[in-house]
Structure 1
Amino acid sequence: MKLYIVLTVCLLGGVFAIKKEVDWYKLKPLEVFPRIPLSPRMSINGPEARITNGEIAVPKQFPYQAGLALYLDGGAAWCGGSLISNRWVLTAAHCTVDANGVDVYLGAWDRTDKKEPSQQIIYVSKKNIHTHKNYSNTTIIDDIALIKLPVAIEFNDYIQPIALPKANGNYQTYAGEQVIASGWGKVSDAAQSATDKLRWIEVPVLENKSCNRWFLGSVKETMICIKTTGGYSTCNGDSGGPLAYNDGAKTYLVGATSFGIGLGIGCEFGWPGVFTRITSYLDWIEKTSGVVNR
C-alpha cells in the first residue's frame, strides 16, 4: 500500500510585524506554514523556525552564535547566524533574500537585555548582504548567505568565530555523529514568541537517504539532516543558525538551519530538521568572503 502525503515545509525563522520604536523581543511571530506537493516552498510572508525542548545555554558557551534582526518591506524577521571571522557572519539565504538591512547581535545571551555588557549590536546595510545567487525559494537549494560587518570586531571571551571544515576535499557525511544546534527561536509549539535566552540541543545527524524518506526526495547532497526524536528540534527564529560538530579537538560549523516540516501540528512532531551543508559551499564562501580553513 502506498501512502501519499501532502507536505508543509516551514523555513526556520520567525516573521514579525513591526513598528518604529517597538522592541524586537516583544513582537510575536506570524506562524506561516506554506504548502507544497513535493518540494519546499517559501511563504511570501517570510521565513519560519525554533529550538524546541532545548537547554538554556550559559554565557560564553556559544561565542560564535549571532542573532539577526532583519528589516523587510512591511515587516521584519528574526534569524540566527554564525560568526566565521572578524568581518563575516554566515546565515541562510531565505533569511536575507528580501532584507533591506540587518542588526547583527554578537556576544548576546539574553537578547532582550540591552545592558548586557557582552552584547554588541551592529547594523549592516543591504549592500553588505551577500545572498547566494542561485538560491531557490521553491526547492530551498543553495540556502546560504554571508553578511559583511562594516568594521572588524575584536574577539573576546563572549565573541569568537567558529571554524569552517578544512578545505581539503575529504569530507565526512557526519551521519550518526552528535551535533549541536543553537538559537533564540520558540521553545515549544505553544510559545507565543521567540525566547529571550539562548538555547541549544544536541542530536545525531541523520543520513540523507533516511531523511529523504520523510521529504520525498527534496533533500539534496548539499543538505544535512538531524534526528528530532523526542521533540528536540530546530523549528521560528532559528533559521540560519549554527549546526556545530566537535571532533574532540575543535568545533566546526557543518550546517546552517534551513527548513523543517509543519503539518499543522508544529515542530515537536519528530520530523527531521534540514540544514545547508557547509562543506558543499566552501568554495563559494572563500570566493565571497576570503574566509577558508586549510
Structure 2
Amino acid sequence: MRGRPPTRGRALLIAALLALAASALGFAPTASAEVPPSHAPGDISTKIFGGGTVTEEQPSIAAFYNGGAFCTASIIAPRWVLTAGHCAGEGDTPEVRVGSLDRTQGGTTAKGVQVFRHPGYNWPGNDIALVQLDRDVDTTYSPLASAGDIAQGQEAAIYGWGVENADWSGDIPVNLKYASGTVTNTDCTSANPRMLCFGGNGSAVAGDSGGPLRVKSPQTGQWVQAGVSAVSPIPAGDWSGYTDIAKNRDWIKEVAGV
C-alpha cells in the first residue's frame, strides 16, 4: 500500500540520505524520492522495475568507473563520452569500458582526461557531463536527438547496469540491462530545465545514472538518444527522469563538436 507522497523538502532529504548510503556501497546513484506529475492511465506497465538482460550488441554504451563509484554512459564521438553530471566533476579521471555487454571484460577501455560538467549543473537541474578520453575509440557512436525527435507517448527504451532490487540494495549486475516503455512526459519533475520521464517495464536505479534513454524518432523512424539518466524514486517505482539532450545540444556541440 502506498502512503501519502512526502513533501518536496522531506522527499529530497530522504533521497540525499539514501544516496549517501548507496554511495557507500560503491556506486554513484540516480536518486530522488520526488514524485513527478501523474502519468495518464495506460501509459505504463504495472511492473515497477525489472526489465530484461540485453543480448544484442550495444556498441555505444559504456560502463563508467570513477574511483569507487559506478555509472553508465554512452560514447558520442571517438574521444567523447556522455554521462550524468553527478557521476563526474572537474579533476576526475574516470575509466570507461565501451561496447561490451559485460562490464568486467571485453570491449575497449579508455581513461577520461578531462571532465566538462554542464556550467548550470545544480542537481537535478542540468545533470549532464561530457568526458574527453585519452584515445580514440572506434565504434558506433550514439546519435543524439533534436527537439523534433522527442514526443510524449513515443516508444522508448533505457539501458544500464543498475542494481536489481527495488530498495537499491545488492550488487551491480555484470550484464547490461534494459527496459522498454514510452516517454510519459516531456516536461516533468521540478528540475530546471524540466526533464523527460520514462515509464515502462523497468525503472532506473543506482548504477544506471548517466545511461541513455533512447526514443524512436517520429521524424525519421530511427532510434536516437534523447536523455541521460538523472533521477528515479527510492524504492524503485514506475518512472525515471532523464536530462533532455535536445535542450543541451548547443552546449554539447560547443564542447565536443558533436
Q: TM-score, normalised by structure 1?
A: 0.70
Cα–Cα, structure 1 residues 96 and 109, in superposed 2: closer, same or farther, change >3 Å?
same
Cα–Cα, structure 1 residues 225 and 133, in superposed 2: closer, same or farther, change >3 Å?
same
CA apart distance, 1:165: 2.1
Question: What is the alpha-carbon distance in structure 2 between the residues aligned to residue 37 and residue 163 of structure 1?
Answer: 30
Equivalent residue of 1:288, what SS?
A: helix
CA apart distance, 1:200: 0.4
Question: What is the alpha-carbon distance in structure 1 between the residues aligned to residue 61 and residue 20 of structure 2?
Answer: 15
Q: Residue 224 in 1 paired to residue 210 in 2?
A: no
CA apart distance, 1:33: 6.5
Q: Is the 8 A contact 1:67 1:81 kept in 2?
A: yes
The residue that corresponds to 2:170 in the other structure is 192
Q: Is the 8 A contact 2:78 2:138 kept in 1?
A: yes
- Equivalent pairs: percent with the same residue? 25
The residue that corresponds to 2:131 in the other structure is 147
CA apart distance, 1:257: 0.2
The residue that corresponds to 1:5 in the other structure is 6
CA apart distance, 1:219: 4.2
Q: Residue 161 in 1 paired to residue 157 in 2?
A: no
Q: Is the 8 A contact 2:197 2:242 kept in 1?
A: yes
CA apart distance, 1:180: 0.8
Q: Is the 8 A contact 2:59 2:141 kept in 1?
A: yes
| Aligned residue identity for 1:251 | W
Q: Is the 8 A contact 1:106 1:120 kept in 2?
A: yes
Cα–Cα, structure 1 residues 52 and 187, in superposed 2: closer, same or farther, change >3 Å?
farther
| Aligned residue identity for 2:210 | G
CA apart distance, 1:285: 0.4
The residue that corresponds to 2:39 in the other structure is none
CA apart distance, 1:83: 1.0
Q: Is the 8 A contact 1:15 1:77 kept in 2?
A: no
The residue that corresponds to 2:41 in the other structure is none
The residue that corresponds to 1:201 in the other structure is 179
The range that moved more, 199-208 or 96-105, is 96-105
Equivalent residue of 1:282, what SS?
A: helix
Cα–Cα, structure 1 residues 32 and 279, in superposed 2: closer, same or farther, change >3 Å?
closer
CA apart distance, 1:111: 1.4
Q: Residue 174 in 1 paired to residue 151 in 2?
A: yes
Cα–Cα, structure 1 residues 282 and 208, in superposed 2: closer, same or farther, change >3 Å?
closer
Q: TM-score, normalised by structure 2?
A: 0.79
CA apart distance, 1:171: 2.5
Equivalent residue of 1:101, what SS?
A: coil
| Aligned residue identity for 2:136 | A
Cα–Cα, structure 1 residues 37 and 185, in superposed 2: closer, same or farther, change >3 Å?
closer
Q: Is the 8 A contact 1:205 1:227 kept in 2?
A: yes
- Pick aligned residue for 2:112 from 97, 104, 124: 124
| Aligned residue identity for 2:121 | Y
Question: What is the alpha-carbon distance in structure 1 between the residues aligned to residue 131 and residue 28 of structure 2?
Answer: 25
CA apart distance, 1:251: 1.8
| Aligned residue identity for 1:64 | S
Which protein has the larger Cα radius of gyration, Structure 1 or Structure 2? 1
Question: What is the alpha-carbon distance in structure 2 between the residues aligned to residue 240 and residue 31 of structure 1?
Answer: 9
- Provide Cα deviations, 1:227-281, integer angstroms capped at 9, x if missing partner: 25x6x1112100011001123642211000000122xxx11x32x2110000000
Cα–Cα, structure 1 residues 239 and 13, in superposed 2: closer, same or farther, change >3 Å?
farther
Listed as ranges, the gaps of 5+ residues in structure 2 are: 37-47
Q: How does 1:1-294 map to 2 (within 5 A)?
A: 5-6=6-7, 7=11, 8-9=14-15, 16=23, 52-60=49-57, 62-71=58-67, 76-97=68-89, 100-112=92-104, 114=105, 116=106, 119-125=107-113, 128-137=114-123, 140-155=124-139, 160-166=140-146, 171=148, 173-189=150-166, 191-208=169-186, 211-212=188-189, 218-228=190-200, 232-247=202-217, 249-262=221-234, 266-267=235-236, 269-270=237-238, 272-291=239-258
Equivalent residue of 1:227, what SS?
A: strand
**How many pairs are equivalent?**
235
CA apart distance, 1:188: 2.1
